[in-house]
Amino acid sequence: MVAAGGAFAEGTPCWTDAMLPDLEAGKRFYGELFGWTFGDPAPPGQGSRTVALLGGRRAAALLRKPDGRLPTVWTVYFAASDAAATAGRVRAAGGQLVTEPEAVGRDGVAATAVDPGGAVFGLWQPGELAGFEAVREPGSYVWTEVCTREREPVDAFYREVFGYSMYPAGDESAGEAADVMVWAPRGEPADDEHAVGSRTMIDETYPVEMPAHFLVHFAVADCDAAVRTTVRLGGRTVDGPQDTPFGRYAVLVDNQGARFGVLDTSTAL
């Protein structure tokens, strides 16, 4: 899936952050839910941002929204060795840039983009911050999926921008019409061992007003306990808990409105 620390392959999810109205409330919520501690706030001029640490290792970041009109969301960032070149491929493939590539201090270069289906994601060209140092363990990033209503344009977009190979999840006969297509990085085998994300279709189980979006999942030791903690802290459950071949999972919303998933991979079939 992803490697912790060091270099991340092109197109691999390498970082995630949440943009929240109340940064201190976010630290309390996620600190209790995932066991995170938090680094010092970013220097003045770099915005109100703090890195979340799991056992002293980078797991994510929380940001205070600079404008109340912005959405309260988790954003996933994909590794880009050259953010400007990747931004060019985004445009050529039918996407748009929300923010142009810009240096984030000495940490790296970030950009945000939107795919042809309307889902927003980030690009990250590493500097001093390569990305995750903790992954796939309770309290850290484990998976991302884009939820969309546009099957063919979105699949074509991610193939062109990141060079993904794709295969249907669970039903090899479904082919290109599969409701879930799994992504593997350019040059890697298209199999579960090398998978880095997926595309899933928004169907009638979603509210009609639900926009296309990326759903970031965090690993947990006990899915049901994570759901109970989320509700106790003022969040709510959107979907689940339920068992899947990949483990027991749930989709949750925090106490400020950011949606995310939790997954207990120890229960995978």
Unique residue bearing structure tokens 């985004």: 90
Q: Tell how strand 180-184 and strand 197-201 pair up.
A: antiparallel
DSSP secondary structure code for residue 87 in this structure: H
Task: Name every residue whose Cβ is closer than 8 Å to that of residue 192 and which is 6 or more positions away in sequence.
Answer: 182
> Do 241 and 155 belong together in one domain?
yes
> Do 71 and 149 belong together in one domain?
no
- In the chain, the N- to C-terminal Cα span, in Å, equals 17
Predicted local confidence at residue 1, as pLDDT: 42
Look at residue 133 and tell me if it is in a domain.
no
Q: Please state, in angstroms and rounded to a whole number, the distance separating the CA atoms of residues 44 and 4.
A: 28
Q: For residue 50, give Cα distances in angstroms to 17, 43, 68, 213.
A: 10, 10, 19, 24
> Do 66 and 147 belong together in one domain?
no
Q: Check whether the bond before 241 is cis (ω within 30° of 0).
A: yes
Unique residue bearing structure tokens 């997926």: 198
Q: Which one has a higher pLDDT value, 210 or 176? A: 210
Least confident of 32-46, 128-142, 251-265: 32-46
Q: What's the whole-number mean pLDDT along residues 130-144? A: 97
What's the pLDDT tens digit per position in 170-192?
Answer: 755 566 668 999 999 999 999 99
CATH no. for residue 98?
3.10.180.10
DSSP secondary structure code for residue 212 in this structure: P
How wide is the angle at C-alpha 218 spanned by C-alphas 176 and 146, nearest 5°? Answer: 25
Look at residue 6 and tell me if it is in a domain.
no
Q: Please state, in angstroms and rounded to a whole number, the distance separating the CA atoms of residues 27 and 5.
A: 23
> Do 201 and 243 belong together in one domain?
yes
Look at residue 262 and tell me if it is in a domain.
yes
Considering its fold, how many domains does the chain have in total? 2
What's the pLDDT tens digit per position in 223-238?
Answer: 999 999 999 999 999 9
> Do 19 and 61 belong together in one domain?
yes
**Mean pLDDT, the chain, as a whole number?**
92
Q: Which residues of 203-242 are buried (b: 16+ CB within 10 A; e: fewer)?
A: eeeeeeeeebbbbbbbbbebbeebbebbeeeebeeeebbe
Predicted local confidence at residue 169, as pLDDT: 87
Q: Which of 126, 161, 182 is the last residue of a domain?
A: 126
> Do 85 and 46 belong together in one domain?
yes
What's the pLDDT tens digit per position in 86-95?
Answer: 999 999 999 9
Unique residue bearing structure tokens 């290109």: 176
> Do 24 and 67 belong together in one domain?
yes
Least confident of 47-51, 104-108, 166-170: 47-51
Is it the case that residue 44 has pLDDT exceeding 50?
Answer: no
Q: Is-contact 111 122, C-beta < 8 A?
A: yes
Look up the domain containing 191 and give its range: 141-267
Q: Which of 70, 102, 126 is the last residue of a domain?
A: 126
Predicted local confidence at residue 102, as pLDDT: 96
Both structure tokens of 34? 């995932």
Distance of CA 202 to the CA centre of its chain: 17
Banded model confidence at residue 157, pLDDT cuts 50, 70, 90: very high
- Sign of the Cα pseudo-torsion (240, 202, 200, 138, in order): negative
Q: Which of 126, 153, 184 is the last residue of a domain?
A: 126
Q: Please state, in angstroms and rounded to a whole number, the distance separating the CA atoms of residues 194 and 264.
A: 19
> Do 205 and 242 belong together in one domain?
yes
What's the pLDDT tens digit per position in 74-125?
Answer: 999 999 999 999 999 999 999 999 999 999 889 899 999 999 999 999 999 9
The pTM score is: 0.93
